[in-house]
């Protein structure tokens, strides 16, 4: 091969034909400077009107959450609809729902990083923030549902007032460790990703206050390559650690159910099925948040149509896995030969809560199949509506698993009916207040897009591309 090139001749590397080139990740050949200007522009200057229109109701809902927590703690869990035999109601439904939503953030930041999916850079920061705020909303419920929250510290490995330690054979204990680790590691990962971008904000800061705070949290980042080298290794390791973490968290949440003996809960398919469902709902939430934000914040060149398209495909794939799991649950209920197991599933589809079951099937299995069509995937309004349908469906999935399984178990004398109270409903609405207040503050004060990472995927960032200054190779602009 080497002999074919005469000495001294210019060697030109020819890229693939133009029509085989992928759609660029950053549209319209935007420059490196444009990326920082655009993302910092969201934070600099006055808050736009739409931000206030979203922020004020969020804070009102957050106050509602505060009021509900005070009322519940001062009165007792009796203010909720939970009662025998349905002792887990909206509290655990909403806990599992919120924590599931968080999973897309970690999938995008960790698993897609390991899989070298470079499109993730446009959405990972916002998705990680979503993870953290969703886990915060989720964490409220287990802390509250124990009834006497002043005993919550018994959950931690502390010698309590009766000289007892926690009992580590219970999946509920595993859950405490899984969720708190998940929250902590998500924050670490998120913060580490923020350091170079906080330095961008520090270097642009005009006011003293901004200079001080961005400077403080940027830790003196200079962009030194000796630093980048350690930084990238640490990022890779964090991604490698977060991947088994995210898979374990929802697996352990599912073990809260699967380790019990209740028909409808006692199922080995739960861990993978919960993880797929979590990623499914998380992508639903990412789409719900980012489709309006990319328009309002003028980020169409960073979060392009291609990004939306890929996320729709992930939603379709995970939704189909979830649909398969629903089918498999039914098959195993029949195949097990256990009359209780069979009854539990027939009761799901034809019992008093059948409407909940069929809502779940429609939203999670039928509706996402529309994403097979390219035309649907490129219609942002339809995608946005479907992303909300997905999360309605995933809420109903947890309702089906928890309420329908509990309300009719082995003994007919033990049957009952469950209805939430107004406190249940208002607490749930209140968690949206917490979520959106945090998210809106995040996008006003922190870089919503990973600036350094997005710069890194543009052609002008590549030293082997003509736009990056290389003498040959790739396609010229």
Partner 1 sequence: MSEGAKPYGLLAEFDTPAALMHAAEKVRDAGYRQWDVFTPYPVHGMDKAMGLKNSRVGWFSFLGGSTGFAVGNLMIWFMNRFDYPIPVGGKPLFSPFSAFPVAYELTILLGAFGALLGMLILNRLPRLHHPLLKHGRFKLATHDKFFLVIETADAKYQPEQTRQLLEAAGSARLEWVED
In the complex, which residues of this chain contact partner 1 (CB under 8 A)? 31-33, 36, 157, 163-169, 171, 173-174, 177-178, 181, 184-185, 188-189, 191-192, 196, 199-200, 202-204, 215-216, 219-234, 237-238, 241-242, 244-245, 248, 252, 255, 452-453, 455-456, 460-464, 468-471
CB of 176 to partner 1, least distance (A): 9
What is the spatial distance between Cα 284 and Cα 101, in angstroms, rounded to a whole number? 8
What is the spatial distance between Cα 471 and Cα 477, in angstroms, rounded to a whole number? 13
Our CB check for partner 1 shows the closer of 215 and 351 to be 215
Query: Please, are residues 301 and 28 in contact by the beta-carbon 8 Å criterion?
Result: yes
CB of 160 to partner 1, least distance (A): 10
Our CB check for partner 1 shows the closer of 37 and 309 to be 37
Our CB check for partner 1 shows the closer of 166 and 292 to be 166
Helix 49-75 to helix 422-445 angle (10° resolution) is: 140
CB of 173 to partner 1, least distance (A): 7
CB of 430 to partner 1, least distance (A): 29
Residue with tokens 């189909």: 320
Q: What is the DSSP string of 68-81?
A: HHHHHHHH-GGGSS
Our CB check for partner 1 shows the closer of 8 and 463 to be 463
Q: 11-29 burial by CB neighbour count: b if 16+ within 10 A, else e?
A: eeeeeeeeeeeeeebbeee
CB of 331 to partner 1, least distance (A): 28
Query: Please, are residues 187 and 178 in contact by the beta-carbon 8 Å criterion?
Result: no
Our CB check for partner 1 shows the closer of 343 and 445 to be 445
Structure tokens given for 89: 């109601």
Nearest Cα neighbor of 104 from 137, 126, 87, 75 is 126
CB of 233 to partner 1, least distance (A): 4
CB of 463 to partner 1, least distance (A): 4
Query: Please, are residues 85 and 100 in contact by the beta-carbon 8 Å criterion?
Result: no
CB of 253 to partner 1, least distance (A): 11
Our CB check for partner 1 shows the closer of 285 and 452 to be 452
What is the spatial distance between Cα 82 and Cα 299, in angstroms, rounded to a whole number? 44
Partners of 83 in beta bridges: 86
C-alpha to C-alpha distances, 354 to 280, 317, 340, 360, 403, nearest whole angstrom = 23, 26, 18, 10, 12
What is the spatial distance between Cα 293 and Cα 303, in angstroms, rounded to a whole number? 10
CB of 130 to partner 1, least distance (A): 19
Our CB check for partner 1 shows the closer of 40 and 403 to be 40
CB of 325 to partner 1, least distance (A): 22
Our CB check for partner 1 shows the closer of 292 and 468 to be 468
Nearest Cα neighbor of 278 from 90, 426, 95 is 95
CB of 207 to partner 1, least distance (A): 15
Residue with tokens 């970690």: 106
Half-sphere exposure of 42 (CA within 13 A, CB side): 25
Our CB check for partner 1 shows the closer of 217 and 340 to be 217
CB of 474 to partner 1, least distance (A): 11
Half-sphere exposure of 5 (CA within 13 A, CB side): 9
CB of 74 to partner 1, least distance (A): 33
Phi, then psi, of 47 in degrees rounded to 5: -70, 135
Our CB check for partner 1 shows the closer of 204 and 475 to be 204
What is the spatial distance between Cα 243 and Cα 259, in angstroms, rounded to a whole number? 24
Helix 422-445 to helix 90-106 angle (10° resolution) is: 20
Our CB check for partner 1 shows the closer of 120 and 202 to be 202
Nearest Cα neighbor of 400 from 329, 349, 442 is 349
Our CB check for partner 1 shows the closer of 57 and 473 to be 473
C-alpha to C-alpha distances, 114 to 104, 120, 239, 368, nearest whole angstrom = 15, 11, 7, 26
Our CB check for partner 1 shows the closer of 42 and 365 to be 42
């Amino acid at each position: 091969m080497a002999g074919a090139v005469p000495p001294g001749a210019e060697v030109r590397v020819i890229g693939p034909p133009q029509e085989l080139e992928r759609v660029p990740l950053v549209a319209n050949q935007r420059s490196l400077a444009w990326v920082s200007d655009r993302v910092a522009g969201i934070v600099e200057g006055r808050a736009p009107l739409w931000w206030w229109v979203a922020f004020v109701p969020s804070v009102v809902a957050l106050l509602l959450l505060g009021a509900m927590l005070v009322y519940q703690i001062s009165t007792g869990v009796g203010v909720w609809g939970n009662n025998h035999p349905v002792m887990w109601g909206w509290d655990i439904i909403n806990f599992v729902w919120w924590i599931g939503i968080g999973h897309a953030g970690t999938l995008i930041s960790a698993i897609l990083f390991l899989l070298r999916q470079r499109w993730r850079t446009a959405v990972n920061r916002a998705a990680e923030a979503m993870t953290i705020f969703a886990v915060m909303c989720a964490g409220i419920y287990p802390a509250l549902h124990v009834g006497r929250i002043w005993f919550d510290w018994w959950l931690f490995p502390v010698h309590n007032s009766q000289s007892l330690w926690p009992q580590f054979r219970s999946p509920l204990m595993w859950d405490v460790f899984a969720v708190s680790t998940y929250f902590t590691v998500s924050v670490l990962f998120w913060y580490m990703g923020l350091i170079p971008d906080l330095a961008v904000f520090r270097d642009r800061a005009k006011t003293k206050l901004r200079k001080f705070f961005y400077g403080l949290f940027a830790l003196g980042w200079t962009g030194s390559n000796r630093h980048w080298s350690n930084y990238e290794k640490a990022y890779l390791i964090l991604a490698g650690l977060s991947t088994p973490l995210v898979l374990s968290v929802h697996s352990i949440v599912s073990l809260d159910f699967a380790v019990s003996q209740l028909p409808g809960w006692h199922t080995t398919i739960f861990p993978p099925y919960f993880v797929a469902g979590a990623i499914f709902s998380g992508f639903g939430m990412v789409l719900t948040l980012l489709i309006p934000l990319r328009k309002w914040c003028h980020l169409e060149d960073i979060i392009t149509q291609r990004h939306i398209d890929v996320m729709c495909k992930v939603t379709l794939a995970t939704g189909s896995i979830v649909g398969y799991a629903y089918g498999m649950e039914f098959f195993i209920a029949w195949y097990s030969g256990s009359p209780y197991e069979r009854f539990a599933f027939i009761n799901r589809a034809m019992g008093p809560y059948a409407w909940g079951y069929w809502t779940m099937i429609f939203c999670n299995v039928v509706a996402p199949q529309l994403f097979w069509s390219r035309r649907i995937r490129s219609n942002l309004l339809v995608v946005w509506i479907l992303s909300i349908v997905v999360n309605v469906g995933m809420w109903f999935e947890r309702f089906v698993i928890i309420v329908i399984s509990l309300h009719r178990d082995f003994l007919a004398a033990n049957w009952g009916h469950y209805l939430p109270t107004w406190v249940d409903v208002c607490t749930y609405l209140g968690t949206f207040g917490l979520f959106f207040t945090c998210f809106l503050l995040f996008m006003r004060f922190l870089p919503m897009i990973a600036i350094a990472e997005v710069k890194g995927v543009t052609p002008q960032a590549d030293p082997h591309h003509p736009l990056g200054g290389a003498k040959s190779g790739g396609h010229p602009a």
